[in-house]
Amino acid sequence: MNCVKCKTKAVIGLPRHNAAFCKPCFNEFVHDQVSRAIKAERMFGRADRILVAVSGGKDSLALWDVLLKLGYHADALYVDLGIPGYSAKSREEVERYADRVAKPCHATLLIHTVQEEEGAGIRELADLINRPTCSACGTIKRYQFNRAAVEQDYDVMATGHNLDDEAARLLGNVLHWQDDYLDKQSPSLPASVEGFAKKVKPLYRLTERELAAYAVLNRIDYIVEECPMAKGSKLLLYKEVLNRLETESPGTKQRFYWGFLEKQAKARPVPTSMAEKDQATLRPCATCGQPTTAETCSYCKMMARAKAGIPR
Amino acid sequence: MNCVKCKTKAVIGLPRHNAAFCKPCFNEFVHDQVSRAIKAERMFGRADRILVAVSGGKDSLALWDVLLKLGYHADALYVDLGIPGYSAKSREEVERYADRVAKPCHATLLIHTVQEEEGAGIRELADLINRPTCSACGTIKRYQFNRAAVEQDYDVMATGHNLDDEAARLLGNVLHWQDDYLDKQSPSLPASVEGFAKKVKPLYRLTERELAAYAVLNRIDYIVEECPMAKGSKLLLYKEVLNRLETESPGTKQRFYWGFLEKQAKARPVPTSMAEKDQATLRPCATCGQPTTAETCSYCKMMARAKAGIPR
């Protein structure tokens, strides 16, 4: 199998593009897909300051790497959730990448530690308020990333969601016909309201497999295991099912997700963020000052409930 | 496991309804689901003459059986496609059921034989015109059923499509975002245009598994094998994938398909048939007189192409 561009020996085949690439041409392909995503969805420009949400997994580290290689001003935030046997290892991968690649490019790694800030790790917090860990984790990460981006004047927040993530989420939303979620499922949500950062997903044109290959070929170490809290999650089931369809018909995921985006663009040229809908009723949280539709934001409510029970 | 209605020993469990039934209560459940479908989608009334499209499989024979037991005036049409090793056996099952149950209820079985009418079976016809067998089969069956229903003054044509069929078809249409097909995917398509029969699917609230159980419990013999031409078909793959999701979350198929119908009903209270859209341009086929948007209808075009090559 030879590279479709330069005809040297290929290192990866991409059935959905009916193509194969050598390492340099594959890197070019990945960079090109990210550039096309940034341009097509008007994500950010050369002058913008970007905050990448990194987890230690292949996607977010590959995203940080591609943005730096493309010459963007991209810092990163890692939120240490204190998951036993997982957070320490994932944090190590993030710090290693930051030291080796990001810092020499004058990029900064910010770290927020939930244990230090709130006095307990995610599992303990979730247990205390009797909520599923993944749901508490979502609230914490959304809050921490948004606050850091807004307080430190980043123009945009970028996450490592890839085509598999977005197609799986879309399948879940379609199976339940969740119109509210379908409306919001865009790779670029504008910062329509003061206090909410613009959010973008520059990897939506690349699959999980392609990003794993990018990380391996470019010697980016990452945590391979899924988060132990995510076992049995619906998203993993939807990914499994989409992989089954992809094997039979390469290109199924991209037709499904990109087709949805085209359909959506025709129906409604500018995507609506959750915040935009609630614009009329937003006010500063009484506890932290972040925007919320209630007296206290959901993050502060959660922490107040948890703290009422945390042993000192 | 006991019957949720009468507390005697259950013969079948229905995880999606969190229920189990004995034989009489299960039959009542099946009859009730069909009655609800007929009512909800205004399919037909007591005075209407119904033509059931039967194939020899569990679904269409169960449909004929339920309609007769519910006291409807339901005749049936079997189209013998001449598939070696399959059509003879499926025809036998249809004739056996007709003799044993339908005829004593004063219902009639009509039979059209493609080999007799067109001089060749489906495989030979498809080969001659170089078209996939399933696509040629679809054209033939749609044409034969519609013509029989219209020429013999039936009020409505009923097919045995079940929840699995409709959910799989919906999944395919959604994966490709085929708006035209999505628009037409209704369990009841009105006879909006002269020459096109009204088409209904009274089994859309029942799964494949439930219909197999109904056939077995009521001693309706049917052809168990899938049509040999359908091997590797996309619909079978979509069914497999939906079964995987259903196992993890009972009720997935019904939420997906019924949710779609609710969404569709809100957006557009009356479903549009293909014919309605083309109403302005319909005229009688120059060869057979059936309505078509072209000079000659697709069935007659296909047969003309095939006959040009059939050895006399």
B247 touches chain A (CB under 8 A): no
Q: Which helix (H) or strand (E) holds A54?
A: strand A49-54
A175 touches chain B (CB under 8 A): yes
pLDDT of residue B312 exceeding 50:
no
Min Cα–Cα distance to chain A from B103, Å: 42
State which residue of chain A sits closest to B249, comparing Cα positions: A234
Query: How is residue B146 written in tokens?
Result: 């519609």
- Are the Cβ atoms of B259 and A234 closer than 8 angstroms? no
**pLDDT (mean) for A218-227:** 93
Beta strands at B12-14 and B19-21: parallel, antiparallel or unpaired: antiparallel
**CATH code for the domain defined by A43-309:** 3.40.50.620
pLDDT of residue B296 exceeding 70:
yes
Beta bridge partners of A126: none
| pLDDT value of position A278 | 61
Min Cα–Cα distance to chain A from B81, Å: 29
| Tens digit of each residue's pLDDT (9 = 90 or more) over A26-53 | 999 999 999 999 999 999 999 999 999 9
ipTM field? 0.85
pLDDT of residue B123 exceeding 90:
no
- Are the Cβ atoms of B241 and A245 closer than 8 angstroms? yes
> Of A110, A143, A136, which Cα lies nearest the Cα of A121?
A136
Lowest mean pLDDT among A42-51, A253-262, A268-277, B44-53: A268-277
The CATH classification of domain B43-282, taken from the options 3.40.640.10, 3.40.50.620, 3.40.50.1450, 3.40.50.720: 3.40.50.620
Alpha carbons B62 and B30: distance in angstroms, whole number: 10
B260 touches chain A (CB under 8 A): yes
**pLDDT (mean) for B247-261:** 95
Alpha carbons B171 and B236: distance in angstroms, whole number: 11
Q: With cut-offs at 50, 70 and 90, classify the pLDDT of residue B279.
A: low
Where b means 16+ CB within 10 Å and e means fewer, B33-48 reads bbeebbeebebbeeee
Of A176, A248, A260, the CB nearest to B237: A248
| Tens digit of each residue's pLDDT (9 = 90 or more) over A125-183 | 888 888 888 888 889 999 999 999 999 999 999 999 999 999 999 999 999 998 888 88
The one-letter code for the residue type at B150 is V
| pLDDT value of position A312 | 39
Alpha carbons B38 and B202: distance in angstroms, whole number: 6
State which residue of chain A sits closest to B178, comparing Cα positions: A259
- In Å, what is the CA distance from A195 to each residue of A143, A191, A279? 11, 8, 11
pLDDT of residue B280 exceeding 80:
no
| Tens digit of each residue's pLDDT (9 = 90 or more) over B125-184 | 888 888 888 888 889 999 999 999 999 999 999 999 999 999 999 999 999 998 888 888
Of A240, A245, A262, the CB nearest to B237: A245
B177 touches chain A (CB under 8 A): yes
By three-state DSSP, how is residue A10 classified? Answer: coil
pLDDT of residue B268 exceeding 60:
yes
Of A175, A234, A259, the CB nearest to B176: A259
| Tens digit of each residue's pLDDT (9 = 90 or more) over A239-249 | 999 999 999 99
- Cβ(A310)–Cβ(A128) below 8 Å: yes
pLDDT of residue A205 exceeding 60:
yes
Alpha carbons A274 and A182: distance in angstroms, whole number: 11
pLDDT of residue B196 exceeding 90:
no
